[in-house]
């Protein structure tokens, strides 16, 4: 069942035929992940490109004071990795942790490269996935330098409509770069409007 979610994800770009689906299914490993379990820790090399079939993850960094800074949330039918670590085999600068029990599919770099070389559809599909991540990152940077906290929160609600109900305020506040108390204040202001 979960593998069908992975195939359906590719159907959003260039659908795979039966032979391509079979090749992909031989190269991915399904894992069940517990809440608060890491699939990547800082200083480890990211060895997998991960598709989230069920559940939710956060990608975050911890500063020298021990404060967590959420960079990204990934839920069902999306991909997560630390791109610099994965492609350049550098130690990761981030953690990737399950926020809730999850089911994932992971593919290693050698298997991914092999898919790229043997079938142009995979190359194209993963390029679009990376391009979408780049657009998301670019928008996030622009917001960080030019938007108010309320505008960032409204964008968050638009980008992650279902996650806003699943995530604790502390996680959302960390993503927005504000305190949980300030987030509560913003929510009250919005509800008055």
Name the pairing type of β-strands 29-33 and 48-62.
unpaired
User: Is residue 173 situated within a structural domain?
Assistant: no
8 A C-beta contact, residue 55 and residue 101 = yes
In this prediction, residue 1 carries a pLDDT of: 53
Q: How many domains does the chain have?
A: 1
pTM: 0.90
User: Is residue 113 situated within a structural domain?
Assistant: no
pLDDT tens digits for range 95-129: 999 999 999 999 999 999 999 999 999 999 999 99
In this prediction, residue 144 carries a pLDDT of: 86
User: Is residue 87 situated within a structural domain?
Assistant: yes
User: Is residue 28 situated within a structural domain?
Assistant: yes
User: Is residue 132 situated within a structural domain?
Assistant: no
Token pair 């949980």 is at which residue? Answer: 180
Of the CA atoms within 13 Å of residue 75, those in its CB half-sphere come to 10
User: Is residue 164 situated within a structural domain?
Assistant: no
User: Is residue 26 situated within a structural domain?
Assistant: yes
- We report the CATH number of the domain holding residue 67 as 2.60.120.10
Could you list the residue range(s) of the whole structural domain that residue 80 is in? 2-108
Instruction: Tell me what the pLDDT averaged over the chain comes to.
Output: 93
Contacts of 163 (CB under 8 A, 6+ apart): 56, 73, 75
> What is the full DSSP assignment across 71-99?
EEEEETTEEE--HHHHHH-PBPSSEEEEE
In this prediction, residue 17 carries a pLDDT of: 94
* pLDDT (tens place) for every residue of the chain, 193 residues total: 579 999 999 999 999 999 999 999 999 999 999 999 999 999 999 999 999 999 999 999 999 999 999 999 999 999 999 999 999 999 999 999 999 999 999 999 999 999 999 999 999 999 999 999 899 889 889 988 999 999 999 999 988 888 888 998 999 999 999 999 999 999 998 888 7
User: Is residue 114 situated within a structural domain?
Assistant: no
3-class secondary structure, 44: coil
Residue 74 vs residues 25, 37, 80: alpha-carbon distances, Å: 22, 15, 7
8 A C-beta contact, residue 27 and residue 115 = yes
Torsion of CA 52, 57, 62, 67, to 10 degrees: 170
Give the number of other Cβ atoms within 10 Å of residue 46's Cβ.
Answer: 25
């Amino acid at each position: 069942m979960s593998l069908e979610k992975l195939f359906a994800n590719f159907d959003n770009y260039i659908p795979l035929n039966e032979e391509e689906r079979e090749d992909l299914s031989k190269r991915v490993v399904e894992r069940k992940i517990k809440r608060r379990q890491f699939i990547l820790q800082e200083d480890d090399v990211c060895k997998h490109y991960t598709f989230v079939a069920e559940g939710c993850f956060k990608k975050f960094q911890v500063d020298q004071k021990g404060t967590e800074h959420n960079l990204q949330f990934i839920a069902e039918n999306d991909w997560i990795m630390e791109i610099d670590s994965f492609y350049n085999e550098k130690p990761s600068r981030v953690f990737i942790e399950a926020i809730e029990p999850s089911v994932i599919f992971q593919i290693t770099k050698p298997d991914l490269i092999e898919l790229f070389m043997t079938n142009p559809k995979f190359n194209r599909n993963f390029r679009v996935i990376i391009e979408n991540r780049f657009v998301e990152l670019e928008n996030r940077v622009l917001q960080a330098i030019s938007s108010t906290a309320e505008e960032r929160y409204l964008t968050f609600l638009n980008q992650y409509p279902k996650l806003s109900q699943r995530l604790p305020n502390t996680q959302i506040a960390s993503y927005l770069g504000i305190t949980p108390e300030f987030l509560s204040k913003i929510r009250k202001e919005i509800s008055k409007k």
